[in-house]
Structure formats: structure tokens, C-alpha cells
Amino acid sequence: MDDDVTELPPLDDLLETARVVAIPLHTRFRGQTVRELVVFEGPEGWTEFSPFPEYDDAEAASWLRGAIEFGYARMPTALRAEIMVNATLPAVAASEVARVLSRYDGCRTVKVKVAETGQTLDDDVARVREARAVLGAEGRVRIDANGGWNVDEAEHAIHRLCEFDLEYVEQPCATVDELAEIRGRVAYMGIPIAADESVRKAADPLAVAKAGAADLLVIKAQPLGGVRRAIEVVRLAGLPAVVSSALESSVGIAMGAHLAAALPELDYDCGLATVDLFTGDVTHDSLGPRAGRIPVTRPDVDPALLDRYRASPDRELWWRDRLTRCHALLH
């Protein structure tokens, strides 16, 4: 294969090996208790197509572009063989924090979900306080609001949470203008602002950098259309990057690991340990953290696991139809 995909593979080639699975989660995450996704095999190995169900076809097509690249093109040269990763803590009660974090072997960093619908800032404070206690003074704690606060709410929350020595605050507000404003308001505190949704869901993923609205970018390979496109976004933005997953199986995590491995600079632990949020996987060589790291590799799927987690016939049809529509958009 060439280093890049120059021609779109025929739809029948993708559908021939496509398998739709539904894997339960240990804890509700992003409103989901089961993660549905598609894996299919290309000349370079297995790859994953897993946009969230609510995304429209135009947005999901970028995810398919990334999946095709990973299955059909050689990846850029890896500059590192392992990736340091962070634990991800869903919006659980403080009493559940230690149990959830115990699944992440050797991780020195935790990303704590905050601003969950139906919860309060007091809930967030209790969760972050407990995460700091579990990690100790040397651990790193970052928070992710998924754009759930307005600017005033974000400023108030950051003031409440700053005592826990935050590494950074990810997507405190939804829009680029709001990010720029909150970044200005809290600059004196020395807490960096990271952009995620404002990069991967934006018509212009560089708008955040152009507006001076963030100190670093959180990037994901699938949503940005593949490893090469994500690398180019980082290069043009000129900001530090954290590579993160989109709640993927180990196949999708491997795509993110190859992205992280190819970046010239990687100063932050990456959010690529989310397979531990699942109760299962499509491979026995799961890319869960070991001593806080995952290897840069390409796992093979296990047919027995594909059968175990096979989606229902109606959901399988739904995903195959979605893949077909997205493939047509890539033309």
C-alpha cells in the first residue's frame, strides 16, 4: 500500500468484513451504558468506525475517513514505542472513585468528568477531591466539562476546584468565544485551558488556535479524519497536543496510539486508556494500561469475541446503512 489512501476502497470491500458489536460499559459514560461500533479489516489490518449514534452523516463521514486510512494505509513513522496514558474518571459519586481508578494500572494522571447533567458543583468538588487523595500530591489531575458550563459558571467552578492543583481544564465552555473569555479570566491562576469539542466538531479545527482560545489541543484520530489529518492540525495550530480516544475498542485505541507515536512532541499523558471503561473488548490483547503505558501496536480481533458482543440484527442493519451513507459522502 501507498503511505496514503489515494482511492476510496469500494463499499463492498468494507461491508464484507464489517462486524457490528455492542459492548457494555462498567459505568454510564456520556449518557451511554453500551458502546456500539463497527470493526472491519483492510490490507494493513483491523480498523474501527465508531461515531456516536447522535452524530449526523456529515460528521460521521470524517470518522469513516479515519477508519479507512488506518485499515488501508501505512502509518507515519513512530517516534516512540509506548504512550503514557491517563485514567478517565466518569461522573461517579466520590465513594466510587477509588474503585474506578483501581482499574488503571500505574496511571499517574486522571481526567475527571465534571459538569454532568443532573449533578451539582458540590458533586464535582467531592469527586475531584477524592481523585486527588487517591493519586496523592505527585499525581496529575485534569478536569473535563465537555462544554457544560457558561463562562460565569466555569469561572466559579475553576475557583472552587483550583485547590486540587489542576493540570488543565478541558472544554469548560462550548464555543470558541467562550473559551477565549474564560481563558482570559483565569489566566492569572496559571491553569491552562484545553479545547476538545471545539477542535474535533468544528468546521475549522484551527479556529481555537487562531482565536487564542486555548493553551493546548485535545485531538482524536477518527473525528479529525485520520492520523495524518490530525498531525497536520497540530502542526498548523502550533499548540501542545493531548491525544485522546473517543470511547473506542482496542482497535480504535491503536489508531490513537499511532497518532500519539508520530507527534514530534508529546508533553502530556494521553487519554488512550478508555478501554478499561468497557466490560469486554474485540481482542484478547486489550490496550489497557500497564504501568501507566500502552504499546504502539495493531491488535487482531478475536472471532469469538465478535460473536459474543455481536449487536442485535436491527442495530447491525442500522450501522451497515450508516456506513453505506457515509461512504457515499466521501466521494
Residues within the annotated binding site for Mg(2+)? 144, 170, 196
Three cell numbers at 11? 463499499
Three cell numbers at 268? 502530556
Cβ pair 97, 135 in contact under 8 A = no
Cβ pair 258, 74 in contact under 8 A = no
Three cell numbers at 120? 451539582
What sign does the CA torsion over 324, 52, 308, 253 have?
A: positive
Q: Is 30 helix (H, G, I), strand (E, B) or coil?
A: coil
Q: Is 133 helix (H, G, I), strand (E, B) or coil?
A: helix
Q: Which of 111, 201, 210, 220 is catalytic?
A: 220
Strand stretches in 139-208, DSSP E: 140-144, 166-170, 193-195
Annotated binding site: 144, 170, 196
113 is catalytic: yes
Residue with cell 486510512: 69
DSSP state of 247: S
Q: Which of 111, 113, 201, 210 is catalytic?
A: 113
Cβ pair 121, 112 in contact under 8 A = no
Q: Kindly give the interhelix angle for 57-72 and 227-237, rounded to the nearest 10 degrees.
A: 110
Q: How far is CA 292 from CA 80, 84, 103, 182, 187, in A?
A: 15, 6, 11, 32, 30
**Cα–Cα–Cα angle for 53, 277, 155, rounded to 5 degrees:** 80
CA-to-CA distance for 14 and 3, rounded, in angstroms?
Answer: 19
DSSP state of 177: H
CA-to-CA distance for 234 and 57, rounded, in angstroms?
Answer: 25
111 is catalytic: no
User: Catalytic residue numbers?
Assistant: 113, 220
